[in-house]
Every structure is written in structure tokens, then in C-alpha cells.
Amino acid sequence: KAGVTQTPRYLIKTRGQQVTLSCSPISGHRSVSWYQQTPGQGLQFLFEYFSETQRNKGNFPGRFSGRQFSNSRSEMNVSTLELGDSALYLCASSSLAGGGETQYFGPGTRLLVL
């Protein structure tokens, strides 16, 4: 079974721009979670989508948004980029509908904001 895929793998943007990242979950997985990883803050939860609905949300500003399509693929968007948005953005998919899901991570998108 193919793993979680993310595109693009690397991205360079300038402050004020916006960016869209894409994630395709493992086949059959309906939950997609997004995380931001930085050296200072570690891995922080952004949001989770399940069956095209946002099910959980972390403590990030409204500039960070996401959506999920009927095929479970997900996108996240960051508007008005700031230098501090430079990070590794990871998505993870899981299969269970209830709690205690085991999440599998994609390779990540490394974003650099100049």
C-alpha cells in the first residue's frame, strides 16, 4: 500500500505571499491531520479533517486553513506568510473513525519564508 504523499516537498516564498500544500492519505484512510514542526516549538497540531469536515483544530491563527476533498485528499493554505511560518509541514493519515487512531506521516513539505 502506498504511503502518505505530500507535494511539494520544498517551497520558498516571500513574506506576504500565500501557499497551498497538498496531502494524499494512505488508501482507505479518511482522517488527515496537519502538523507544523520547528526547532523551537517541536511538532504542533494544526487541524484534522475527517470526511471533509474539520474535526479538531489547534492553536494557530486564522491565516492557517485547510480543507478535505471527497477522495480524502487534503490541502492546507497559509495566507500572508510570515518569517516565523518557515517550518516542516507534516500531514498524517489514519483509518479509524473513533479515537486512538494510529497516524502515519508523510515526508513533509519544507517551507522557507524569506
Partner 1 sequence: QKEVEQNSGPLSVPEGAIASLNCTYSDRGSQSFFWYRQYSGKSPELIMFIYSNGDKEDGRFTAQLNKASQYVSLLIRDSQPSDSATYLCAVNKNNQGGKLIFGQGTELSVKP
| Torsion angle, alpha carbons of 47, 114, 39, 44, to 10 | -10
Cβ distance 101 to 47 under 8 Å? no
**From the DSSP assignment, how many helices (H) and strands (E) are in the chain?**
0, 11
Q: Based on the shown chain and the rule CB under 8 A, indicate whether residue 94 belongs to the binding site for partner 1.
A: yes
Give least dist CB 52 to partner 1, A: 14
Residue of 76, 90, 111, 113 that binds partner 1 (CB under 8 A): 90
Q: Based on the shown chain and the rule CB under 8 A, indicate whether residue 75 belongs to the binding site for partner 1.
A: no
Where does this chain bind partner 1 (CB under 8 A)?
A: 31-33, 35, 42-45, 48, 50, 55-56, 58, 88, 90, 92, 94, 98-108
